[in-house]
Amino acid sequence: MLKEAVNEYAEIDVGQAAQLDPFAKDKVVKIDTGEVSKRTVESIRYGDELMFALEMSDDFRAEVDSYAISMELFKQRKGAKPDKPELGFHFAGRNVFEHVLLRMKKIRSSDLESTLKFLNYKHCLSLLFYVEHYLRNNVEIELAARTALYLIRTYEV
């Protein structure tokens, strides 16, 4: 039974090689694969919490930007006075930078890279915005630098 499984596996391997290069049926084609990422339940949970914090912070930043534009129009007497945006209960009195930093601090140091692998490109760009603020203002330099270096290394051209 084991020999049959080995023969079947060899047939599948030859079939896949033939699909990749139909002119070289006797050749073994080596396929380069990327780094295997081990995603634990914790890193997925950390990634989900970080994505939620980034989305909430980005939404509030967009509200503040639209408020600023509306205030400029109000000062030029071209519109009504807008309502000032208020932080949601998720922020618990923190600003957007502190909120994202709190979520980043909750990630264990050993799970940081696997958590960042969980983020998509849009979230990575948003996270780089916050990381740049931390680096410029000397806030959690080590965490911000590790995050920035990993994201830059991952998305370099």
Residues 66-121 pLDDT 10s: 888 888 888 887 777 777 777 777 777 788 889 999 999 998 888 888 888 888 88
Based on the domain organization, do 95 and 49 belong to the same domain? yes
User: Which of 11-25, 27-41, 140-154 is predicted most confidently?
Assistant: 140-154
Same domain, 52 and 85: yes
> Per mean pLDDT, which of 6-15, 20-29, 58-67 is the most reliable?
58-67
Q: Are residues 66 and 49 in the same domain?
A: yes
* 13 and 69 fall within a common domain: no
Check pLDDT > 80 for residue 142: yes
Task: For residues 69 and 134, give the distance between their C-alpha atoms in angstroms, rounded to a whole number.
Answer: 26
pLDDT value for 118: 83
Provide the b/e sequence for 135-147 (b: ≥16 CB within 10 Å).
Answer: eeeeebeebbebb
Could you tell me the residue range of the domain that residue 98 belongs to?
A: 41-155
Has residue 130 got a pLDDT over 90? Answer: yes
Looking at the structure, do residues 28 and 56 belong to the same domain, yes or no? no
| Overall domain count for the chain | 2
| Average confidence (pLDDT) over 121-146 | 91
- State which of 3-17, 32-46, 131-145 shows the largest mean pLDDT: 131-145
Whether residue 64 is found in the same domain as residue 132: yes
Say whether both 85 and 26 belong to one domain: no
Kindly indicate the confidence band of residue 44, based on its pLDDT and cuts at 50, 70 and 90: confident
Residue 129: the pLDDT is 92
One domain, residues 110 and 134: yes
- Give φ, ψ of 91 to 5 degrees: -80, -25
Q: Are residues 127 and 101 in the same domain?
A: yes
Task: Indicate whether 138 and 90 sit together in one domain.
Answer: yes
Predicted confidence (pLDDT) at residue 39 exceeds the cutoff of 90: no
User: What pLDDT band is residue 12 in, cutting at 50, 70 and 90?
Assistant: low
pLDDT-derived band at 126, boundaries 50, 70, 90: very high
Distance (Å, whole) CA 16 – CA 28: 10
Same-domain check for residues 46 and 26 = no
Q: State whether 48 and 96 are in the same domain.
A: yes
The b-or-e profile of 42-80 (16+ CB within 10 A means b, else e) is ebeebbebbbebbebbbebeeeeeeeeebeeeeeeeeee
